[in-house]
Chains A and B, each alone.
Chain A
């Protein structure tokens, strides 16, 4: 999944126009350097980032559009990192949503300089990471699987899962158990029993 080694600088490239931006102070764990680039930050071979503070946007609404125009169609992933530092953010955000669609930008909101710095670091450090951690996560051990299985219906917790399995021995037996039998397990009140049995009996498809 990770793109084959394209050479890219190991540091975050920062446009000189961002000099003095407080978020630079929050980029601590990765090196960064000034460079002459059309975007504000370059976070990887195909990733760039424009930074916009809503406060500034309110004063100079045309600024971001100029920047986007100058950016042209460069880069594959174009992040518009927006700092929400005003309270009535609805209107500008609506506008930016539209803009991001038209201009192929990915809108990311942050609420503090710290968070913004963290986003920059994350983008850089995950440049070559594969998205395994957000793919269907496979817990390996039988116990985890089991607990996950049993606790899927609402209001059933890990304790209940343990007691259920220890009472019936296997999931198959637990699934086939009658409500009265399940009700005898300590901790399983009527609501839980009902919910469990209902889920187990519920057909996968709703018949119309």
Chain B
């Protein structure tokens, strides 16, 4: 790296270097106040349980024995920020070979990690909501026999997670089967708990302290404009805090008796209650959604189309008889499922019923409050970007990498509250402080004691230190490279090119044509390294918009390049079949290039995770890659397959294939596959992702999808089209399907 930068002597300035430390300290000793917030019991329980799940998942991975270095995958590293990314990267070279189960476990790890993160940032209600969603998404489709549920869901610990999360929101849940009857009789056995995030109250205290501080001993005016800057990790947290700060002095005044005595204390009660109301409404809908989505065959909940019209919140004011009907439907849905795999689900259904009970209590109780404030605050939430004028003194901002410096410069805060620890930001504050001697900065710093958050911060600091130590050591015993001058490095490359040039030209090519070899390449292919490698082999690369194929080597040879990952996905969505079809139509030698990555293993054979699985696999699994390749070649006997272990190899093969062949005609290549009257230069390039999404829409096939793409601007427009307009474009039946797909409401089913 140093050679590329033309650096002779690197100098390192770690922050523990004396001069650096001195200049950072500045003249004034800055005030940093660390606040360690204890987690609540519920949070700690959840965290421990999730960590247990992580540990078990890792154990599973280790059992699967994929031939990876698993030694450093311990619980400790689970606290690390990019833990799952690291595993993924390790698995990447053999990703197409690992078994379904291993892949699933890796996915689970990602989910678990996001739960950990959510635990600390989300409020209790949203956290529970998030968990519900995860649970629902992981349900196996009804009637499926495959044992494909994630292993961690079966653990006791997972149960603890869900239970505790629920308890943080409300308690008094009817425990088992016989209780619902009695719970029905005493509906107030359900009591909202609404645990607050401990940091909230602390934040309120800190703000109060600052206020007092300002009032009691006003600091002489200095350069900083006494702003309070609150830094947190993302927009979501920002919004949450903002809402909290707005509402913390609003109290549900007359309804809750236990609230009356501590009227003055700031609390998130109001916000949480509103959230809970929304949540319960959501939950009710969600029961319906999951019923219609995940058990489509059971259309039990069909009488509920009213009540959702009212604008803000899905407030359920259903009369008791309706509730009873839901309950019946829900439990029958639970019973209809295969019992063995869905213990969780059945229980969840039960608790959904319970939550429906709880529903009516708070809604009626603070209906008045809600009507007063809800409209207002909802508006705030909508365009919260305009909220700055609400209070000049308070700015809440998420960490945003390098932009933080500008934020500091612009806001010029007197007080900085770091709602979540972020090592990089501390450094920035240090720099800010020392570069403006005349400004007073006081930093409050909050973290949950004994939490993942704390661990993560500490390990970040440690890593920083380690990195510097390593760099210094490295510098100590680095060999000094002295390059002669700037011209030297480029020279050999040119020479190399020249030799390649002569070799190809001399190899009998002279007889055929004097032109340099030419390859027509689809513009979309330029994201891969192959075109530049071809160029490196002194072929002329002509970028074009190709409708058929990716590379055209000669007038008869057309090549579709697929990396292994592409291959799997395009087998899955059938694109490869269509591509092969069109290639066959227009070229004499259509070819499929299967390109492996250089550092990935060069084989398709899946790992045998254990012998048991292997025997099953050979018996029934007809979905693997090999059988698909076989099917493809049977369907298209003329399609040739090129196997290449790396892009370099591909370039070699291309050169070999082109040897003594005519050069392709780019104009003809572009025109191939276009319909009559379509001007190739009119044809513009397409964005692929929205197209892929359209492909998932029922009723749309190649032809009418193309029509739709040409006629309509973007996806949003498509979704807003009326049935009649769609009719016109894609045909009656398809139009109906598309319209239904976009407009079907999951609440109605």
Determine the distance from Cα of A165 to Cα of B747 in the docked complex, in whole angstroms: 10
Say whether A123 faces chain B, with CB atoms less than 8 Å apart.
yes
Q: Which residues of B contact A159 (CB under 8 A)?
A: 111, 133-134, 137-138
A101-B589, A165-B289 in contact; A176/B626 too (CB < 8 A)? no
A162 with B133: CB separation less than 8 A: yes
Q: Chain A: which residue is nearest B130 at the CB level?
A: A186
Q: Is the CB–CB distance between B690 and A202 below 8 Å?
A: yes
Whether the pair A186, B618 counts as a contact (CB closer than 8 A) is no
How far apart are A134's CB and chain B's nearest CB, in angstroms? 5
B-binding segment of A7-15, A31-39, A64-72, A89-97: A89-97
Size category of the B interface is 35 or more
Q: When the two chains form their complex, are residues A106 and B637 in contact, meaning their CB atoms are under 8 A apart?
A: yes
| Chain B 169-199 near chain A by CB (<8 Å), digits 1 or 0 | 0000000000000000000000000000000
* Closest beta carbon of chain A to B141's beta carbon, Å: 8
| Contact among A78, A163, A187, A204 with B691 in the assembled complex (CB-CB below 8 Å) | A204
Cα separation A175 to B718 with both chains bound (whole Å) = 10
Q: Which of B122, B605, B627 has the most chain A CB atoms closer than 10 A to its own CB?
A: B627
Q: CB-nearest residue of chain B relative to A171?
A: B742
A53 beta carbon closer than 8 Å to chain B: no
Given the known interface contacts A126-B634, A187-B118, A208-B684, the answer about A133 and B622 at a Cβ–Cβ threshold of 8 Å is yes
Chain B residues within 8 Å of A76, by CB: 637
Contacts of B109 in A (CB 8 A): none
Cα–Cα distance between A203 and B475 once the two chains are bound (Å): 51
**Residues of chain A contacted by B340 (CB below 8 angstroms):** none
Q: Is A5 an interface residue (CB 8 A)?
A: no
CB of B630 within 8 Å of the partner chain: yes
Q: Please determine whether B382 and A131 come into contact, CB atoms closer than 8 angstroms.
A: no
A205 near B: Cβ within 8 Å? yes
Q: Mark A126-149, 1 if CB is under 8 A from B, else 0.
A: 110101011111100111011011
Residue of A108, A129, A175 touching B742 (CB-CB under 8 A): A175
Q: Does A1 contact B (CB under 8 A)?
A: yes
Task: Knowing A133-B623, A159-B134, say if A204 contacts B640 (CB, 8 Å).
Answer: no
CB distance from A22 to the nearest CB of B (A): 16
Q: Give, as a whole number of angstroms, the nearest-CB distance from A137 to chain B.
A: 6
Partner of B686, one of A123, A145, A205: A205
CB distance from A166 to the nearest CB of B (A): 5
Contact A171 B236 (CB under 8 A): no
Provide the bound-state CA to CA distance between A89 and B596, in Å. Answer: 13
Bound form: Cα–Cα A51–B697 in Å: 44
B637 / chain A contacts, CB cutoff of 8 Å: 46-47, 76-78, 106
Expressed in whole angstroms, the Cα–Cα distance for A200 and B623 within the complex equals: 32
A58 within 8 A of partner (CB)? no
Residue A122 CB within 8 A of the other chain: yes
Is residue B520 within 8 Å, beta carbon to beta carbon, of the partner chain? Answer: no
Assess whether A190 is in contact with B234, with CB atoms less than 8 Å apart: yes
Whether B628 contacts A158 by the Cβ 8 Å rule is no
A167 at the interface (CB under 8 A from B): yes
**B574 interface contact, C-beta 8 A:** yes
CA distance A136 to B572 in the complex (A): 7
Give the complex CA separation of A172 and B235 in angstroms: 25
Asked if A18 is an interface residue, CB under 8 A from chain B, the answer is no
Q: Say yes or no: is B285 at the interface (Cβ < 8 Å to chain A).
A: yes
Is B221 at the interface (CB under 8 A from chain A)? no
B607 contacts A by Cβ under 8 Å: no
A13 to B652, CA, bound (A): 36
CA of A148 to CA of B626, assembled, Å = 24
Closest chain A residue to B749 by CB distance?
Answer: A142
Q: Are B645 and A162 in contact (CB under 8 A)?
A: no
With beta carbons under 8 angstroms apart, the residue of A115, A123, A208 that contacts B634 is A123
With A106-B637, A107-B640, A169-B747 in contact, is A134–B234 under 8 Å at CB? no
- How far is A142 from B574 in the complex, measured between Cα atoms in Å? 19
Distance in angstroms from A141 CB to nearest chain B CB is: 6
Q: In the assembled complex, how far is the CB of residue B142 from the closest CB belonging to chain A, in whole angstroms?
A: 10
- Which chain A residues border B355 with CB–CB below 8 Å? none
Interface residues of B in 281-296 (CB under 8 A from A): 282, 285-286, 289-290, 293-294, 296
Assuming the contacts A152-B693, A172-B743, A189-B236, asked whether A134 and B649 have C-beta atoms less than 8 A apart, the reply is no
Asked if A145 meets B742 with Cβ closer than 8 Å, knowing A175-B719, A180-B384, A205-B709, the reply is no
Given contacts A94-B652, A131-B634, A207-B684, contact A126 B114 (CB under 8 A): no
Residues of B within 8 A of A146 (CB): 293, 741
Complex-state Cα separation, A154 to B689, whole angstroms = 9
CB closest residue in chain A, given B572: A137
Q: Check if A101 sits within 8 Å of B645, measured CB to CB.
A: no
Chain A residues with a Cβ closer than 8 Å to the other chain, count? 86
**Are A206 and B746 in contact, CB atoms less than 8 angstroms apart?**
no
A134 to B649, CA, bound (A): 28
Known: A134-B628, A170-B743. A201 touches B716 (CB 8 A): yes
Q: Given the interface contacts A136-B578, A189-B234, does A172 sit within 8 Å of B127 by beta carbon?
A: no
Question: Do residues A141 and B296 form an inter-chain contact, with CB atoms below 8 A?
Answer: yes
Interface contact A93-B643, CB-CB below 8 Å? yes
Indicate whether B126 reaches chain A with its CB closer than 8 angstroms.
yes
CA distance A166 to B291 in the complex (A): 11
CB <8 Å contact, B631 and A134: yes
With A143-B293, A149-B696: A199-B130 Cβ-Cβ less than 8 Å: no
Cα distance A131–B631 when bound, in Å? 6
Residues of A within 8 A of B282 (CB): 166-167
Among A172-206, those with CB < 8 Å from B are 172, 175-176, 178, 180-181, 183-184, 186-187, 189-190, 199-206
Q: Which of B107, B383, B632, B640 contacts A134 (CB 8 A)?
A: B632
Q: A90-B645, A183-B239 are in contact. Are A134 and B571 (CB under 8 A)?
A: yes
Assess A163 versus B133: contact at CB under 8 Å? Given A129-B634, A143-B296, A204-B714: yes
B696 adjacent to A166 (CB under 8 Å): no
CB distance from B625 to the nearest CB of A (A): 11
Judge whether A169 and B746 touch: CB under 8 Å: yes
Least CB separation from A82: chain B residue: B643
> Is A42 in contact with chain B by the CB < 8 A criterion?
no
Q: Cβ of A149: which chain B residues have Cβ within 8 Å of it?
A: 693, 696-697, 741
- CB of A142 within 8 A of CB of B744, answer yes
B418 at the interface (CB under 8 A from A): no
Chain A residues with CB below 8 A from B541, complex form: none
B687 on the interface (CB 8 Å rule)? yes
Query: A122 to B630, Cβ gap below 8 A?
Result: yes
Q: Are A77 and B633 in contact (CB under 8 A)?
A: yes
Choose from B574, B635, B639 the contact partner of A137 (Cβ within 8 Å).
B574
Which B residues between 633 and 655 are near A, CB-CB below 8 angstroms?
Answer: 633-635, 637-645, 649, 652-653
Q: Are A127 and B289 in contact (CB under 8 A)?
A: no
Contact A200 B627 (CB under 8 A): no
Residues of B contacting A152 in the complex (Cβ-Cβ under 8 angstroms)? 689, 692-693, 696
B381 at the interface (CB under 8 A from A): yes
Q: Closest Cβ of chain B: how far from A101's Cβ, in Å?
A: 6
Which residue in chain B gives the minimum CB-CB distance to A208? B684
Q: Roughly how many angstroms separate A131 CA and B577 CA in the complex, as a whole number?
A: 9
Q: Per-residue 0/1 for B709-728: is the Cβ within 8 Å of any A Cβ (1 yes, 0 no)?
A: 11011111001100000000
A and B contact pairs by CB, cutoff 8 A, 12 listed: A90-B652, A93-B643, A94-B656, A95-B656, A97-B657, A118-B618, A136-B574, A137-B572, A162-B290, A176-B720, A186-B118, A205-B686
With contacts A46-B637, A101-B657, A202-B687 known, what are 8 further pairs, Cβ within 8 A? A1-B635, A107-B640, A134-B628, A146-B741, A171-B741, A175-B742, A202-B690, A204-B690
Which residues of B are interface residues toward A (Cβ below 8 A)? 107, 111, 114, 118, 122, 126-127, 129-130, 133-134, 136-138, 141, 234-236, 239, 282, 285-286, 289-290, 293-294, 296, 381-385, 557, 571-578, 589, 591, 602-605, 618, 622-623, 626-635, 637-645, 649, 652-653, 656-657, 659, 684-687, 689-693, 695-698, 701, 709-710, 712-716, 719-720, 741-747
Return the 7 tightest CB-CB contacts between A and B, nearest first.
Answer: A136-B574, A186-B130, A77-B637, A131-B635, A148-B696, A149-B696, A159-B137
